[in-house]
Structure 1
Amino acid sequence: MSDQQGLFEFADLPEWEQAAAEDLQVAEVVFNLPLEKPYTYSIPDEFRELLKAGMRVKAPLGRGNRTVVGYCVNVRQAESAIRKLKPIHEVLDSEPLLNDVMLKLTHWIGERYLCGWGQVLDSVIPAGVRRKSGTRLVQSFELSSKADQLIEAGKLPKKQQTVVDVLREFTEPVAATRLCELAECGPGPITALRKKGIVTALRIRSEVSGEMLEDAVQTEDLILNSQQQQTLDKILSAVRSGEHSTMLLHGVTGSGKTEVYIRSIREIVSYGRQAIVLVPEISLTPQTIRRFRCRFKSVAVLHSHMTDSERHWQWQQIAQGQIEVVVGARSAVFAPTPNLGLIVIDEEHEPTFKQDSTPRYHAREVARYRCMQERVPLLLGSATPTLESWLRATRRQDTLLSMPDRVAELPLPPVVVVDTRNDPRIGKGSSLGRALFTSIGRALNEKGQVILFLNLRGYSPTVWCRSCGTGVKCPDCDITLTWHRDRAEAVCHSCDYSIPAPEKCPTCESAAVRYFGTGTQKLEAEVAAAFPAARVLRMDSDSMRKPGSHDEALEKFRHGEVEILLGTQMIAKGLDFPNVTLVGVIDADSMLNQPDMRASERTFQLIAQVAGRTGRSSRGGRVLVQTTNADAPSIKYASKHDFMGFAYHELQQRKETGAPPFSTVTRVIFRGMSEPQVCETAREVANKLRTVAKDLDPEARILGAAPAPITRLRGYYRFHLQIAAPSHERVKLLWQRVEGKLKLPDSVEMAVDVDPINSR
């Protein structure tokens, strides 16, 4: 049903019918569907006073009139009389789940990221909030209207009288468990009173609060150095202006950015306003929360490891204005703060701020738009900003704030690039080259701690047959299996398919199956064998599955219970351990050799970030980077801690090729069970885009269709194409001109990814 179906002009109606039409209201409703405009429904009389924008409703959809849950996004007067317009069946909420500001924000996300408004709303509102998780019907009791009359008729036993006395003290019904506790009795006396008609049983919805964070001891402010104070003054000037501005705080690792965030938020809170702080990794959240809770009275946390009831309770507290600071991962940008004063995005360069499922939004851009709407500042912080953010700052579209020195005038650690091509230990199959092996021993002898970074999990990343020269791949994905020795299985890291460690090649049945490469599990075993007196701890997604395990592991390292911490990128950033005197990057090439436009940028960022974990005390520290490509620009600039040099070099490369941030790219992915059909569909869409682009936007480029880098994933064949144009608006116009004419086969799915970060 379109927005116009069932509507007639007033002029076509008799006068008495025109007057009636002027009183009619309609609701605009969106559903979890791609690129659908709002559907219009009549509002039955019983819902007229109740229904507001931001509430969920049940309404008939499609020819079969099946009832579907949707979101009311507008209630308005009918512009004409309504005939045969379908009515809303049910209103599911007593209060709006989103206010007008958030409705406008979600509508913008749908348009910006080329998806349906209903799809955005279904993603933004947590499932626990939609289901009202943490609430339940609780058996409760109150005195009946005839209680006094019945009690006068006969004396009650002592226990029953006590129950009556307790109920008389309350004006509201009392939950059964609470009543038994106060009356110091079991259920027997209450049951007896019910049979006599003195007590009435009710079932009342009772709110169950989420887990409260543990109390934190309030600490005093730290003394700011001159560069911190200058940066803080500029941020507070923007805060006090009452206008929106985006500020990029480029501060080296250990420069004290978190203290600047805290002092900025202190000012916001003093105005009775709220702040949102986004962090990229769940492993960073406990540490960040701890630092904020020591300085603020109320801090809420929103992240994916929370239960639905915890998330619902936190959501309610935030919406009621009870929370000063909201800390969380990507989705916390949608926290329903009624008095927002500032959004901070720490480590803004992290790819985890980009959602990899519909709606494929980037939290940085959503935060920017939300802050513009609410006329409050946005503060981005990083030692290695994205090139997109850096270019905006150098063009003065955003304000650049700089903190080039570490606190207490501590120097950045020296970074030594170790070419491992002729290393004798590496040649014999070790993961630790001679220089790194010697340095670890020296650091341990000096009672220092060591961090080893390797961005490959499992034991051996490749299972390979020497006889036929092929890798042992997942049957559902175009990916080589990884050997996990602790599970005695070869595992697909995309779909979790696993088989017992193969003794024969599934292709040629040869017994010449070998395991190549080093993952974090193999590195752990090697380090433990090489340094048996040292306590070793591994942090990756395999070892950190249990909720709270990240914080527990880091606390052990912080208190010196572990000497060597090794793991994937979850240990590479944001952690502050003064006793770390050595950081080793095991294999920089594993990041650099990815088929990705941003591989060089990410390599620089990871090396720079992991290098920042050492040298944070007077003990100093050093960094060793093992690589076979010592001349790569990202590695050379990272070894000098030269972000600006790297950014200039990389931006020049991107400008010459017209790559982002000098253009905008949208990726369209097709998938299905039939490879020829998916291929043909992708090519047809690409050809239609080229045809329209010739007349609409000659500067737009259509790249592909072509097989995706991982052509088969979870049983689906995948092809993709890219639309490149000078601006998002031009990509949007081109796509919308074509999208409405597309008729995909039922067996082929399509996804649109604006500003893609994951290119697999």
Structure 2
Amino acid sequence: MSILFARVAVENTAYHFDRTFDYLVPEALLEQAKPGCRALVPFGAGNSQRLAMILEISPEKKTQNEMKQVVAVLDEAPLLTSEAISLVYWLKDRCFCTLFEAVKLLLPAGINVRLKTEYTLVQGKAQEMETFSVEERTVLQYLAGCSRPVEREKLLKATGLPVDSTAPEKLFKRGFLQKTGAAVRQIKDAAQKMVRLTDEEPLSKLTPKQRAVCRILQEAGSASLKEVCYFAGVTPAVVNTLVTKGVACYYETEIYRNPYDQVQNPVVQQELLLSDEQQSAYQHLLAQYRSGMGGVSLLFGVTGSGKTSVFMRLIDEVLADGKQTIVMVPEISLTPQSLARFHQRYGRRVAVFHSGLSLSERLDEWKRVRRGEVSIAVGTRSAVFAPFDHLGLVVMDEEQEHTYKSESSPRYHARDVAKFRCAYHKALLVLASATPSIESYYFAQVGRYTFNRLPSRYGGARLPQVRFVDMNRELEAGNESIYSRALLAELEKNIKIHKQSIILLNRRGYNTFVSCKSCGNVVTCPNCSISLTYHAANQRLMCHYCGYSVPFSTECPTCHADKVHYAGFGTQRAEQQLLELLPEARVLRLDTDVAMTRFAYEEKLQSFARGEYDVIVGTQMVAKGLDFENVTLVGVLSADQALYGDDFRSYERAFDLLTQVAGRAGRGQYAGEAIIQTFTPENSVLALAARQDYPAFYEGEIAVRKGMLYPPFADLCVVGFVGIHEEKVARASEAFLQMLRSLAQAEYPQEPMRVLNPSPALIGKVSNKYRYKLIVKCRNSRSFRQMISRLLIAFAKDRTYRDVTAFADINPDRIL
């Protein structure tokens, strides 16, 4: 029998050490070991077992005694196809991640396994206790009283030893302990952890934090653990202590294996009636799909033009050919309405992928796709990895949205992954938006993408009338409320005629700025260089970056004067003020603070659709993708906040947000109106957004991009540096710049690039770590990426900066 070796990606390898590793496949595993299966392999000098993914099986080329052997194969059948394995290598090259980080992207979180190490005392071996350290004696004494093997984590916790203790391993090497290892699948169930008080009388000696938890549970009866921690401003450890004392107890709500299990297949599929414009766009897209060459097309249409109907008609044809479709939406908040339309038309042929599902549910949906039970995957960016074998179409709705780009490693963009998959399957990628990214529109204009346009709203619906209110004039007239007189009057009128309204304020919380009038100190997070936001719902000041919170107080933490001033406004204050000004209004606030529980978005949007509320006050989750016929008024409370941002995409984001939110009004038979409040009504972006004149906005923006050499005329590579000592982080960024200069001049002189000097990140400190950035304007070529990869590897190996982490991100949505 021929000797084979497995080329594998190993879990938990550092980027500078990451590559494929070769292992002999023992004869007993020859039938099981296949590309796409996970395995256990001995790794490193100590040969500790590591999880690995087999990427290739080949005839053995080295001498047998040079190679270690695969210990076990964990999967009966491959989890990754040949396409997925190709994608793993592509992600490593493009995203500067390890191979196994790329592997984990392609697998549902619920299928992940962890290695469980257990220890047992070797019986009958003489133990002279004075020859052992204190830690080793503690371990031996504990295991002497155990009749079963004890998992490492449990052993260290029971003995009070640190998680990185080497005592068990030293005892194993000396022969006093036996060690066994196994792979354990990690799947959390779909139940939600709830808390309630027991019948026991609360103990008199409770800490202030524990008493706060008890008060909340007395008032609410029960609440989820997440809600208790938010409203009491505590960590789960405080609640755990109350449970240990018997004052409170945990329980679980009903388990949902599939939240969409009630969906039925439609008896008859309703015919989609397309307008002439829609029919023309559909025919062009169908012709491109039928060509079998794949490619990318931009479907550009004003809000309410019926882009969804066009690509649903296209999906009908793809399904009729026996092929599969992926449809992506940018946020969970947009998923419920999208899902409702897809379930209504395609029934149980639809699988769902988004972070609002439990690990169990995500695993189940992944399995349904792998078994060929579904033909359509709908979800957020993770849906792009749905394991279809015969992909015919990928649709990215609201393709310009920042949520399609991952901000943590692997730092991929779903659009780029979609292009890779469509090229592999010769499938069609449709990018749909009323406000496409400048890059996508440019590529459509120069012929890199095909272009289809829907210039009119469907069914005769008209674009909303847009009014601007100068808030300077409101202040001069003595109106100091968040709401202008014009907006308030229209809200009141809408309530009387039983129409609904949407109010956008892209800041959550109550007050967004806290300072002392006596000493001028701004109350900031001790862990981050950001001011704290006051949340009225839990009476606490909170950091939206690291989660730090402190109780509300009027006393200055610096000078202790009772002169703390709360300014700025968020959605909580906007909601409260609206209720004070219009007591008869039924107001729904929709932001991440009120949508903590599973399916909260869906439930709240459904209640709004049923007419149970008159007004939604929310962050940008209410600005896009929502379609309510009864909404005839949209108000934007702070347009300037979006306009004057921190990087070259600020105007693009502002135009997108204002155009999209205005487009929520008048989508049915009723005329719509949008009122935009601003302190700078003369800004040209506002007028262009009001007219939904994207081509005119694009012409101005593309000229600036070309002059400043920004995308699409160049790529941006941002190298970030993170560490606990600011001086060292700054020095590390300068050292990296010198390494870049030397390597580029010596070996990559042909690569065009402009390098900006290192500088602190916009938010200089997050979670007690300082951040610096180095920006390179470049061409995203294989040669350039090779150079950056070499620099990252060399930097990581330099012990001078061993406590500074460096990472690279090509074309980030937001510059660090």
Q: How far apart, CA to CA, are the structure 2 residues paired with 1:670 and 1:424?
A: 44
Equivalent residues in 2 for 1:588-627, closer than 5 Å: 588-627=639-678
**Partner Cα distance (1:426, 1:106) in 2:** 61
User: Could you tell me whether the CA contact under 8 Å between 1:265 and 1:342 is conserved in 2?
Assistant: yes
**Alignment match of 1:694 (pick from 730, 745, 750):** 745
Q: Does 1:577 align with 2:628?
A: yes
What's 2:389 paired with? 338
How far apart are the structure 1 equivalents of 2:711 and 2:420?
20
> 1:30 is aligned with what amino acid?
A
Residue 664 of structure 1: CA displacement?
0.6
Give 1:8-87 correspondences, 5 Å limit.
23-32=2-11, 33=13, 34=15, 36-87=18-69
User: Superposition pairs for residues 226-625 of structure 1, below 5 Å?
Assistant: 226-297=276-347, 298-424=349-475, 428-625=479-676
Residues 1:714 and 1:556: Cα distance change in structure 2 (over 3 Å): same
Deviates more, 1:62-71 or 1:688-697: 688-697
Aligned to 1:650: 701
SS of corresponding position for 1:684: helix
Deviations 1:725-753 (A, max 9, x none): 13343531331342332235332222221
- What CA deviation, in whole Å up to 9, does each residue of 1:223-268 have, x standing for no partner? 1111111111111112222221111100111111111121111111
Contact 1:425 1:434 in 2 (8 A): no
1:625-678 CA-partner distances (Å, limit 9, x unpaired): 111122323222101211011111111111100011211111111111111111
In structure 2, give the amino acid aligned to 1:126: P
Using the alignment, how far apart are the partners of 2:258 and 2:603 within structure 1?
21
What is residue 768 of structure 2 aligned with on the other side? 715
Q: What is the CA distance between 1:550 and its match in structure 2? A: 0.7
Structure-2 separation of matches of 1:209 and 1:431: 44
For residue 135 of structure 1, report the CA deviation from its aligned partner: 11
Verify the 8 A CA contact 1:425 1:432 in the aligned structure 2: no
The one-letter amino acid paired with 1:461 is T
Q: 1:430 to 1:599 in 2, by over 3 A?
A: same
The superposition leaves residues 456-477 of structure 1 with CA deviations (integer Å, 9 ceiling, x where unpaired) of 0000111111222231000000
Please tell me the root mean square deviation across aligned C-alpha atoms, in Å.
1.8
Query: How many angstroms apart in 2 are the aligned matches of 1:211 and 1:607?
Result: 33
Q: SS in structure 1 opposite 2:469?
A: strand
Report the secondary structure of 1:681's partner residue: helix
SS in 1 for 2:572: helix
Offset of residue 212 of structure 1: 4.5
1:294 CA displacement: 1.1
What is the distance in 1 between the residues matched to 2:520 and 2:709? Answer: 38
* Deviation, structure 1 residue 281: 0.9
User: TM-score scaled by structure 2?
Assistant: 0.80
Q: Greater CA deviation, 746-755 or 327-336? A: 746-755
> Contact 1:296 / 1:324 at 8 angstroms: preserved in 2?
no
| Cα deviation, residue 428, structure 1 | 4.1
Indicate yes or no: 2:273 matched with 1:223: yes
- C-alpha distance after superposition, 1:66-118 (max 9, x if no partner): 21111111111123433321111111111111100111112111111122222
Shift of 1:133: 6.1
Which deviations, in whole Å up to 9, do the C-alpha atoms of 1:166-197 show, x marking residues without a partner? xxxxxxxxxxxxxxxxxxxxxxxxxxxxxxxx
Would you say the 8 A contact 2:26–2:70 is kept in 1? yes
Residue in structure 2 matching 1:214, options 262, 274, 284: 262
Give distance in 2, aligned partners of 1:45 and 1:361.
Answer: 39
Q: How many pairs does the alignment contain?
A: 668
Shift of 1:591: 1.4
1:103 equivalent among 85, 99, 108: 85
3-state secondary structure, aligned to 2:674:
strand
**Amino acid across the alignment from 1:294:** Q
Over 3 Å counting, the alpha-carbon distance change for 1:548 and 1:476 in structure 2 is same
Percent identical residues: 36
Q: Which has the larger radius of gyration?
A: 1
1:129–1:315 contact (8 Å) kept in structure 2: no
Per the TM alignment, residue 127 of structure 1 is displaced from its structure 2 partner at its CA by 1.9
Aligned to 2:807: 751
Q: Which runs of 5+ in 2 are unaligned?
A: 114-184, 190-255
For residue 352 of structure 1, what is the amino acid of its counterpart? T
Do the aligned residues in 2 keep the contact of 1:249 with 1:382 (CA within 8 Å)? yes
Once the 2 structures are TM-superposed, how far is the Cα of residue 371 of structure 1 from its aligned partner?
A: 0.3
What's the offset of the Cα at 1:210? 4.2
Structure 1 residues 456-510: Cα deviation after superposition (integer angstroms, max 9, x where no partner): 0000111111222231000000010000012110000001100011322222222
2:554–2:565 contact (8 Å) kept in structure 1 = no
* SS in structure 1 at match of 2:333: coil
With normalisation by structure 1, the TM-score equals 0.85
User: Structure 1 residues 427, 100: CA separation in 2 closer, same or farther (over 3 Å shift)?
Assistant: farther
| Structure 1 residues without counterparts, runs of 5 or longer | 1-19, 137-207
The answer to whether the Cα contact below 8 Å between 2:9 and 2:54 also exists between their aligned partners in 1 is: yes
Amino acid across the alignment from 1:735: I
Q: Is the 8 A contact 1:216 1:290 kept in 2?
A: no
**In the aligned structure 2, how far is the partner of 1:97 from the partner of 1:610?**
42
Q: 1:209 to 1:625 in 2, by over 3 A?
A: closer
Q: What is the distance in 2 between the residues matched to 1:71 and 1:700?
A: 36
Query: Matched residue of 1:369: which SS?
Result: helix
Shift of 1:134: 6.5
Per-residue CA deviation, residues 280-333 of structure 1 (Å, 9 max, x unaligned), is 110111111110111114111011121122111111110111102111111110
Distance 1:354 1:726 in 2: 19
Give the CA deviation at 1:755.
Answer: 1.0
Mean Cα displacement is larger for which, 373-382 or 31-40? Answer: 31-40
| 2:735 corresponds to | 684
Measure how far apart 1:350 and its partner are. Answer: 0.8
CA distance in 2, matches of 1:445, 1:135: 48
Conserved 8 A contact 1:424-1:433: no
> Partner of 1:524: helix, strand, or coil?
helix
User: 8 Å contact 2:718–2:776 — kept in the other structure?
Assistant: yes
Query: Could you tell me whether the CA contact under 8 Å between 2:298 and 2:431 is conserved in 1?
Result: yes
Q: Distance in 2 between matches of 1:239 and 1:655?
A: 33
Question: Could you tell me which residue of structure 1 aligns to residue 76 of structure 2?
Answer: 94
